[in-house]
Homo-oligomer: A and B are copies of this chain.
Amino acid sequence: MSNLEPIDPGQLQRWFRTDVQSMTAYQPGEQPPWGKTIKLNTNENPYPPTTKIREAIVEATGRLERYPDPLGTPFRMQASQLLGVEPDQILCGNGSDDILTIVTRSLLDRGQLLRFPYPSYILYRTLAQLQGAVTEEVPFADGFRLPEGLCAPHPQLRLVVIPNPNSPSGTWIEPEALLDLARRLPCPLLIDEAYVDFAPGHCIDLIAQQPNIMVSRTLSKSYGLAGLRFGYLVARPEVIQMMRKVKDSYNCDALSLAAATTAISDQGWVEENRRKIVATRQRMLERARAIGFIVPDSHANFIWCTHPTWNLKEMYQKLKDQRVLVRYMDYPEWGAGLRISVGTDAQSDACMDLLESMR
CB distance A238 to B31 under 8 Å? no
- What's the nearest-Cβ distance from chain B to residue A132, in Å? 7
Secondary structure at the A interface, as helix, strand, loop or mixed, is loop
CB distance A224 to B65 under 8 Å? yes
User: Chain A 233-262, CB within 8 Å of chain B: the 1/0 string?
Assistant: 000111100101110111111111001000
CB distance A253 to B253 under 8 Å? yes
- What's the nearest-Cβ distance from chain B to residue A284, in Å? 18
A81 vs B49: C-alpha distance in the bound complex, in angstroms? 34
15 CB < 8 A contacts A-B: A2-B86, A2-B89, A4-B211, A14-B187, A15-B107, A15-B158, A15-B187, A31-B69, A53-B64, A57-B57, A64-B226, A68-B227, A109-B132, A253-B253, A253-B255
Count identical subunits in the complex. Answer: 2
A24 vs B246: C-alpha distance in the bound complex, in angstroms? 10
User: Chain A 68-92, CB within 8 Å of chain B: the 1/0 string?
Assistant: 1110000000000000011011000
Contacts of A6 in B (CB 8 A): 238
In the complex with contacts A60-B227, A228-B64, A107-B16 CB distance below 8 A: yes
Contacts of A152 in B (CB 8 A): none
Instruction: With A15-B187, A53-B61, A227-B254 given, name 7 new contacts (CB 8 A).
Output: A7-B236, A31-B66, A58-B61, A97-B248, A97-B249, A130-B246, A229-B253
- What's the nearest-Cβ distance from chain B to residue A273, in Å? 10
- The chain B residue with its CB closest to the CB of A67 is B226
A225 lies within 8 A of chain B by Cβ: yes
- The chain B residue with its CB closest to the CB of A21 is B242
Which 3 interchain pairs have the tightest Cβ spacing? A227-B254, A25-B245, A229-B253
A11 lies within 8 A of chain B by Cβ: yes
A322 vs B140: C-alpha distance in the bound complex, in angstroms? 63
- The chain B residue with its CB closest to the CB of A80 is B2
CB distance B58 to A58 under 8 Å? yes
CB distance A249 to B28 under 8 Å? yes
Number of interface residues of A (CB under 8 A): 97
List residues of chain A with CB under 8 Å of any chain B CB: 1-2, 4-7, 11-12, 14-21, 23-26, 28-29, 31, 34, 39, 42, 44-49, 53-54, 57-58, 60-70, 85-86, 88-89, 94-95, 97-98, 101, 105-110, 123, 130, 132, 158, 186-188, 208, 211-212, 220, 224-229, 236-239, 242, 244-246, 248-256, 259
